[in-house]
A and B are shown apart, each in its own frame.
Chain A
């Protein structure tokens, strides 16, 4: 009995230090890949959540209760992610989990969350996370399929019907390549050439030459990630293509323009989020307030530019806070889940979320903005 009390006191004290207060607390669990190969995803995600928890607690928390954050770094390893998810549920007794920077780690956390009945918001892209719908699993990033649809919609508007694709063989490129091929028909797009390249390849001119020599190709689409798309963009410029080039949301960052070179990237289009053009949003834009607040706070705190990935974490946190506020009961995961599913019109940095029992992603194509690179900068074209 005595030892139990001591443990309880020690835990209480530890949590008190973490949250800076000794009132009732809302225990929130996070497991992201802050280091390792997916660090470019997890690092801004972890930073974003730490910043937002601090801000919220300074403002007095949710209904007077502060948030006690437990954040683990799974290093991109699905096995670790599973261990941490179990620890979050059993030892840290959290009421909700945010995390799973990659589809692999998400799948590990997802099974724990489903078994234990803890609401979980994933930060990974794959459509299989929310299709079929799982009771306790939600996600904030848009899917590859939506990116394909957004691109094809734009192509249709340009009168483009026949395209060539060149995709990376990495996980992202391969998944998007498959999704695009699936939805191309629905948009009246015919894929005449379908080439691939390895994620570390240094030159893609042979594949691009094949695409150029294919009769009738009106545009090139490059689903990919990392250095591949930058090299493809440079090679397209080198070969003097006269047809438009579309990139994916995988490279929607300012660093991409720098890597590809402003001259080579001139005129290319890709679907991106409002976050990327934060400084160009109109003041009456629905996302103006949330995007500006987040980018300014992040820049002030870390002296770094925001990324789309940090935005996913921002939105996941906003969704949880909103759900707990409406649930009115910060102790009951089931009530939080139900409130989460009833989310309607929550404006995030990625888009506007409205969940339903059939839809645990809650975004539509309007979440993507078609961007064009013009004079080394982004230009919203729709």
Chain B
């Protein structure tokens, strides 16, 4: 019994990491149908900048804030310098641009910072919390709490605010959105800035658990993407539950079956779900109007 609980704690920890990355995908996807493959790099930047600002003597909260602001600015720059000039290009081309951007960011990080692994202290110490014979680290609670907070924030943003609805409108039909007075260029800038900020926030929360180096973004983006696909691309609820489910599949497979197969099983489950529900668990059915 305590083993099951331990597996679930592990699954929730890892799942919350995936969920945070997956949540970052939603805004840009909702604004432009583009899956931003540089999202993992935003997470990495959040961690790396915090590490170096913290080592330079800034208090941790200030270092984290700085990291989120800088990464957000990089997100805006990515939109201005690479996505906007290619406006009108098919979505696939834009996705390829984001892959290119991720390679550039990785290379630049190697040069500006270094190639080593880093870590900063957990927010509330490293003493594990014991629950019925299983243990969980306080930092895991921060990550799970962070994922929930971002989820609630995004949900309110998309359903209760005019700006959020403007983002959705832009994705639905850019021309129609412009006709009703939505500044679509600004919506794109906003979505990249926010996505980058969410990514960096994720990086700040997960670094004490996963550690950070210039190349951790790729694996994170891949898992986050898988989680978002499972839950339904563009839906914050899907991103959250997709991430947590993926984490729990992996942990339970590693715990009860074999650690060799944990990723294989997770991906087979995702494939199975996508066969039956191509939009993911919570994805809205899209209808193409002609």
Interface residues of A (CB under 8 A from B): 37, 39-40, 43, 195-198, 200-203, 205-207, 209-210, 213, 226-227, 230-231, 234, 237-240, 255, 258-259, 261, 263-264
Contacts and interface: CB of A to CB of B under 8 A. Distances in A.
Contact of A238 (B115, B118, B135, B216): B135
Contact of A202 (B13, B117, B252, B254): B13
B116 A206 contact: no
5 tightest A-B CB contacts, nearest first: A200-B219, A206-B255, A206-B254, A202-B210, A205-B10
A72 to B, nearest CB: 19
Contacts of B115: 39-40, 43
A202 B251 CA distance: 11
B274 interface: no
B126 A261 contact: yes
Given A203-B10, A264-B126, 4 more contacts: A202-B13, A206-B251, A230-B117, A237-B128
8 contacts: A195-B254, A200-B216, A203-B10, A203-B251, A206-B251, A206-B254, A207-B254, A255-B116
Contacts, number: 88
A120 to B, nearest CB: 26
Contacts of A202: 13-14, 17, 206, 209-210
B213 interface: yes
Interface of B: 3, 6-7, 9-11, 13-14, 17, 115-119, 126, 128, 135, 137, 206, 209-211, 213, 215-216, 219-220, 251-252, 254-255, 259-260, 263
A205 to B, nearest CB: 4
Contacts of A213: 3
Nearest to B220: A200
A112 to B, nearest CB: 28
A197 B259 contact: yes
A205 B12 CA distance: 12
Contacts of B135: 205, 238-240
B172 to A, nearest CB: 36
Contact of B9 (A39, A197, A205, A234): A205
Contacts of A39: 115
A266 to B, nearest CB: 12
A362 to B, nearest CB: 31
B14 A209 contact: no
Contacts of B263: 198
A238 B117 contact: no
Most buried by B among A37, A203, A258: A203
A14 B179 CA distance: 68
B131 to A, nearest CB: 12
B46 to A, nearest CB: 15
